[in-house]
Amino acid sequence: MVEKDTNLPGDDLSEEFQFKPGRSIGYLLRDCNRRFIKALEAEIGPHGILVGQWFFLRELWVEDGLTQAELSSRVGMKAPTTMVAIRRLVNDGFVVRERDVSDRRKLRICLTDKGRRSRDVLLPLAHDVNIAATDGFSIEEVRQFQSLFDRLKENLSTD
């Protein structure tokens, strides 16, 4: 449960944030996320990658050989969703499952050559989506935006 902040701006401003259709922070975030996902899908889809798989590849490009649980945690997805995404990535030849050498109970998700090569194709496409989304923003505005979103995440953290 999120605690109510009694230090909100003046009544009309807080009322606008909470009740005016299309202006609440949650609504704006959802709308931007939907548009961002649609733009990303249009770029990476022709390369055989769904947005749901993208997030897992993105993490594996940073650190290959993560377990399914580690991937779930880093991407913020539940285990069943992770399992489905990994199954498809395996079927499409982007990753393989390998037994951990020190703990045979664990399966590591490892990039194949195809999965590693896809980084050089897909990352620039995602970069282009980010550039398009921040068109007209100064570097300082982008940094401020990132900082504000980090604070939103922290405020809503359930940890």
Q: Residues 17-59: pLDDT tens digits? A: 666 778 788 889 999 999 999 999 999 999 999 999 999 999 9
Quickly tell me which residue has 């896809």 as its tokens.
118
Would you say residue 96 lies in a domain? yes
CATH code of residue 25: 1.10.10.10
Six-digit token pair at 142?
A: 């982008």
Would you say residue 50 lies in a domain? yes
Per-residue pLDDT at 6 exceeds 80? no
pTM: 0.81
- Residue 64's pLDDT band (boundaries 50, 70, 90)? very high
Would you say residue 117 lies in a domain? yes
The residue range of the domain holding 15 is 11-129
Would you say residue 150 lies in a domain? no
Q: How many domains does the chain have?
A: 1
Q: Is the CB of residue 106 less than 8 Å from the CB of residue 67?
A: yes
